[in-house]
């Protein structure tokens, strides 16, 4: 039985989101707003199908995928660069590789106790986010 990430999650910490956004080429004005946000994640997990909706007072981003099936991601409202994304399980971690113009782009989700963890990677920058159940 894989881990179940389903639920509604509120951001409680956000380490180096600034560095991650700089690596993505997000402009200064957008970064100033974005780093103040406390996004909420709604995750729906049904077998190999996932729906991850990240919402905030400024912008929303939603993603749907199946484990092991590569898909085109548009990153609309983020850096707007298209990439090919592939999500797989690595033990109990959900790992996404985002292949495109930016090197070393991707993210990893895992659970630790009652918390949802997310590492966001781009080039040489790593952002670490922690969420608690709403």
Residue 48 Cβ vs ligand VLZ, minimum distance, rounded to whole Å: 16
61 near ligand VLZ (CB under 6 A): yes
User: Residue 77's closest CA among 90, 95, 58?
Assistant: 58
Other C-beta atoms lying within 10 Å of the C-beta of residue 58:
12
42 near ligand VLZ (CB under 6 A): no
Q: Which of 40, 56, 99, 125 binds ligand VLZ (CB under 6 A)?
A: 56
11 near ligand VLZ (CB under 6 A): no
Q: x-or-dash pattern for ligand VLZ, window 65-84, by CB under 6 A?
A: -------------x------
d(CA 90, CA 106): 14
d(CA 127, CA 23): 11
Sign of CA dihedral 78, 108, 17, 42: positive
Q: Which of 37, 67, 86, 111 binds ligand VLZ (CB under 6 A)?
A: 37
d(CA 63, CA 54): 9
Please identify, using beta-carbon distances, which residue of 1 and 29 lies nearer to ligand VLZ. 29
Number of residues that bind ligand VLZ (CB under 6 A): 18
Q: Find the helix or strand (DSSP H, E) in which 107 lies.
A: strand 106-112
- Interface positions with ligand VLZ (CB under 6 A): 21, 26, 30, 34, 37, 39, 41, 52, 54, 56, 58-59, 61, 63, 78, 107, 118, 120
């Amino acid at each position: 039985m894989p881990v179940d990430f389903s639920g509604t999650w509120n951001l409680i910490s956000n380490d180096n989101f600034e560095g991650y956004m700089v690596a993505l080429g997000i402009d200064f004005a957008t970064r100033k707003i974005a780093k103040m946000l406390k996004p909420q994640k709604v995750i729906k997990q049904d077998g190999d199908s996932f729906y991850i909706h990240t919402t905030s007072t400024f912008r929303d981003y939603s993603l749907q995928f199946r484990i092991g099936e590569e898909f085109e991601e548009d990153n609309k409202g983020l850096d707007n660069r298209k990439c090919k994304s592939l999500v797989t399980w690595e033990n109990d971690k959900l790992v996404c590789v985002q292949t495109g113009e930016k090197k070393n782009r991707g993210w990893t989700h895992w659970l630790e106790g009652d918390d949802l963890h997310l590492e966001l990677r781009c080039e040489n920058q790593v952002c670490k986010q922690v969420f608690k159940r709403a």
